Chain A
Amino acid sequence: MNLTVGQELPELVKHPTTRQLVQYAGAQGDFYEIHYDQAYAQSVALPGVILHGLLKAAFLGQLVTDWLGDRGNLKTFEVSYRGIDVPGRPYRCRGRVTKVDGDQVELDVWGEDPDGQRTTIGSAIVEMKS
């Protein structure tokens, strides 16, 4: 497959639920109450329970590994959380090739809420198998 700058990754849409946040809290071992206790979340000035940043990172990781398959290896993966996301709203993961240098390919990745706000932005470097 020919990779060129500007190419978009097939998008991945996730439908997080409060149940998934509880499942993720258990699987990761992150029991910070803002992810499952509505009253607690509101007491620290949040609109309600919010997605774990690292759950959004996992979604974006899947975007990259689904696209990459066994064609190469992920070398670096970086995400920055710019906004909060709440369960019940679809989370759209997108990405684009930004640089192709021999076997090394760089990507921009981001997660969008239903308003089109990029609440998570990031990048990845992959090394394609020759």
Chain B
Amino acid sequence: MSTTTSIVERLRARIGKGEPSTEATVEAGHLKRFVEAIGDPNPRWKSEAPPTFLVALVPVSMHLEEAEEYGKGWLNGGNRFEYIEPVKVGDRITATGKVADVYEKTGGSGSLLFIIFETDYVNQHGRTVARLRGTAIRR
């Protein structure tokens, strides 16, 4: 059984190291299921991705297995999207993520572990279309 300190240290060793890239094509059927699920009837989303769609296209798992010895469960702390170009049906997107930071915070209700991920999304023309920063929390 490792101590929480060693879990944090082990995770911190991953900071800045790129995770393997994943690729996916924006399909009309998937986009339709996604906009139905979020309940956004805007006809624009028949051919273009709504603001949060990229997380569904190439799910970059922020739930690192090796963090699961810490606490009981995961929470999503927040997400920050930066948009450079619209993402359309037929686009082939490559997502490359990395752990940007890992830290522990102790408050009144106990300790929390924060893992910050950054993901770049690049289209078939080699242009970055969006970036995402996400905060995963173990509690």
Which positions in A face B, CB cutoff 8 Å?
Answer: 14, 20, 23-24, 26-30, 32, 34, 44-46, 52-55, 57-59, 61-62, 64-66, 73-81, 122
Contact = CB atoms under 8 A, between A and B. Distances in A.
A73 B38 contact: no
Nearest to A120: B78
A77 B73 CA distance: 26
Nearest to B38: A58
B59 A58 contact: no
B74 A32 contact: yes
Given A29-B56, A79-B79, A55 B51 contact: no
Interface string B70-108: 001111111111110000000000000000000000000
B51 A58 contact: yes
Interface residues on B, range: 20 to 34
B37 A65 contact: no
Contacts of A44: 72-73
Contacts of B36: 23, 27
A52 B34 CA distance: 14
B33 A80 contact: no
B46 interface: no
A27 B78 contact: no
10 contacts: A24-B38, A26-B37, A27-B38, A28-B37, A53-B78, A54-B55, A55-B38, A58-B52, A64-B51, A76-B80
